[in-house]
Amino acid sequence: MNFEEIYKNVPKPHIPEKLPVDLSSLYDCEVIKLISKANNAIGVYRGFLINTINPMLLISPLVSQEAVLSSKLEGTHATIEDFINYDAGNEVSISKDEMQEIINYRSALFYALDKIATISDNSEEGIHKLPLSVRLIKEMHKILLDNVRGKTKTPGEFKTEQNYIGSINEITFTPLSPELTLDYMTNLENYIHYDEVDLLVQAALIHCQFEMIHPFKDGNGRIGRLLIPLFLYYRDMLPVPTFYMSAFFEKDRSLYLQKLSAVSKNNDYGTWIKYFLEGVIEQAEINTIKARALLDKYNEFKEICVSDMSSKYSIILLDEIFKKPAFKAKHLQNTIPGSKATLYNMLDEFVSKGILQKDDKSRNATYFCPAILYLLK
């Protein structure tokens, strides 16, 4: 293989415009209609979450699904069933490295959720938290690449060597050079706090700019997709960061890359923004249906717990099931009050009521909730 010949034809590092960019010429009737429709769709989703007594109940199953789909865009092959099974401590046919990548993605999002203070949070607790910033992005990246395939690629640090997108035989895009990366990431951080005409357009530009910068040696796609829900949460558009775009991007990955490349090749922000807004509309409607179905199922099970269960701890167990829909009894021994016998009696009761099923192992059996698994497929 003639590397000299390959690198002779490599595109030069792309230098994007700094943000904000002038979008005044883009706001035609089509874009304005899309912005309105996208804001309405996400407004319905936001309203549903705000009126939910505990929207955090929904975050764990939805984050697990997003972690699987976002990682699939990077070449993993695990399904949501594989991930939930592995998370319960069972052997699966997918490599441990791949499964750990998905777990790390979920951990990075939960870490950010714990650390971020939303833009309107003036509470005592919020004072000690972080804005959505370069510092937090680096910390998330360090978690994302912990003990997986990219662990040798300086987790939590920006690239010091040029990176490329494509195969070794055909490099299709050369991101921003390492020398300019910090400057552009600082500009991106400033833009996160900028008052753009529309927050969804701003989210589209943040994701696109991050992908063109490609600041890390590895893990850029996953961090770039995490920035979408975290930005909407940080700017108070959502009460919890449970809005994910990976399903939309993953259903036609080549189209996703094509729309991104319209910006890098032709400075065509309009094509990317329209595509992104169409994705917001589609995913907001899907997310609303899925979140409502999960909440309806939770309320159905809660009614059974209140009316038909003998233990006063049954609601605590139900909440744990929604956090982790497949598990072994030992995982809950420090979470559920009472004795070991109390826990096993409750689990048997949940099985008898059809909330849980149990595999056929006589020891160390796995309990799982078929209803949640079905809704996450």
pLDDT for position 166: 83
The answer to whether residue 241 scores a pLDDT higher than 90 is yes
pLDDT 10s digits, 270-284:
999 999 999 999 999
The side-by-side arrangement of strands in the sheet containing 366-368 is 326-328, 366-368, 357-358
The answer to whether residue 45 scores a pLDDT higher than 90 is yes
214 noted as active-site residue = yes
Cα–Cα dist 376/81, whole Å: 9
Give the CA distances from residue 55 to residues 61, 138, 246, 249, 319, in Å, rounded to whole numbers and listed in that order: 12, 27, 21, 25, 12
* Residue scoring higher pLDDT (223 or 122): 223
Is 214 among the annotated ligand-binding positions? yes
Is 334 among the annotated ligand-binding positions? no
Question: Residue-wise over 151-187: b if at least 16 C-beta within 10 A, else e?
Answer: eebbbbebbeeebbbeeeeeeebbbbbbeebeebbeb
* Residue scoring higher pLDDT (55 or 301): 301
Is 219 among the annotated ligand-binding positions? yes
State which H helix or E strand residue 172 sits in: strand 171-173
**Which pair of tokens denotes residue 164?**
């490329």
pLDDT for position 8: 62
The answer to whether residue 131 scores a pLDDT higher than 70 is yes
- Using DSSP's 3-state secondary structure scheme, residue 165 falls into strand
Q: What is the mean pLDDT of residues 102-110?
A: 96
The answer to whether residue 4 scores a pLDDT higher than 60 is no
Cα–Cα dist 113/226, whole Å: 11
Q: Is 3-286 assigned to CATH 1.10.3290.10?
A: yes
Delimiting residues of CATH 1.10.10.10 domain(s) in the chain: 309-376
The answer to whether residue 6 scores a pLDDT higher than 60 is no
pLDDT for position 293: 95
The residue behind tokens 């500009």 is 187
Q: Which fold has domain 309-376?
A: Arc Repressor Mutant, subunit A (1.10.10)
Q: What is the mean pLDDT of residues 303-331?
A: 95
pLDDT band, residue 5 (cuts 50/70/90)? low
Is 224 among the annotated ligand-binding positions? yes
**Cβ within 8 Å of residue 241, ≥6 positions away:** 59, 109, 112, 113, 229, 230, 232, 233
How is 183-198 classified by DSSP, letter by letter? HHHHHHHHHHTS--S-
Q: Which amino acid is at 276?
A: F
**Which pair of tokens denotes residue 290?**
């899925």
> pTM, whole model, 2 decimals?
0.93
Considering Cα of 73, then 78, then 79, then 85, what sign does the dihedral take?
negative
pLDDT 10s digits, 145-181:
998 876 677 999 999 999 999 876 778 899 999 999 9
Across the chain, mean pLDDT equals: 93
The answer to whether residue 1 scores a pLDDT higher than 80 is no
- Using DSSP's 3-state secondary structure scheme, residue 225 falls into helix
Is 223 among the annotated ligand-binding positions? yes
pLDDT band, residue 7 (cuts 50/70/90)? low
Delimiting residues of CATH 1.10.3290.10 domain(s) in the chain: 3-286
**Catalytic annotation, pick one of 14, 141, 207, 214:** 214
